[in-house]
Amino acid sequence: MKVAVYPGSFDPTTNGHLDIINRASRLCDKLIVGVLDNKSKVPLFTVEERVAQLKEITKDFSGLLVDFARANNSNIVIRGLRGVTDFSYEFQMALTNRALDSDLETLFISADTQYLFFSSSQVKEIASFGGDIANMVPEIINEQLRKKLELKELN
């Protein structure tokens, strides 16, 4: 059985992420979506909130990606590429993960053209200025993002 993991911060999940999940799941028997910590980012949503947002298709794991993959009997990591700006970060991460576990292969799926400019950071920035993100994220994420930003403003 081919098991692949698709890791990310998913803070929050965008339609671009969902597109990669849909397409990657057709390439393997089981796709595990992992909400992992990116130590260089300060998340807006807690891991619990992000996992709840991704519901059954996700598994929460705190630690190294290589351990997450091993724990799920997977040696395939899926990552989406939106263009050359993603490449150096992604390539460095793929090489680092292979240095930690030489069995691990990272497969890149190119983002669909309609999602090329989507990023979680931009979605959050647009929403924080009251911009419309309805066509960029699932409905549930749109609602939760608005609530989260309202709460932040009150504090």
Residue 154 C-beta: closest distance to ligand PNS, Å: 27
Give the residues lining the site for ligand PNS (CB under 6 A).
7-9, 36-38, 41, 64-65, 93, 96-97
d(CA 135, CA 94): 31
Q: Which residue among the candidates 2, 30, 41, 152 is catalytic per the annotation?
A: 41
Q: In this complex, which beta carbon is closest to ligand PNS, that of residue 50 or of residue 148?
A: 50
Q: In this complex, which beta carbon is closest to ligand PNS, that of residue 65 or of residue 133?
A: 65
Q: Where are the beta strands (DSSP E) in the chain?
A: 3-8, 30-35, 58-60, 76-81, 105-110
Under 8 Å CB-to-CB from 98, ≥6 apart: which residues?
A: 104, 105, 106
Which tokens is 125 given?
């920035």
Q: Which residue among the candidates 23, 59, 70, 82 is catalytic per the annotation?
A: 82
Assess whether 82 carries a catalytic annotation.
yes
Q: Which residue among the candidates 50, 120, 124, 148 is catalytic per the annotation?
A: 120
Residue 45 C-beta: closest distance to ligand PNS, Å: 13
CA gyration radius, the chain: 16
Instruction: Count the residues in the chain.
Output: 155
Active site residues: 17, 41, 82, 120
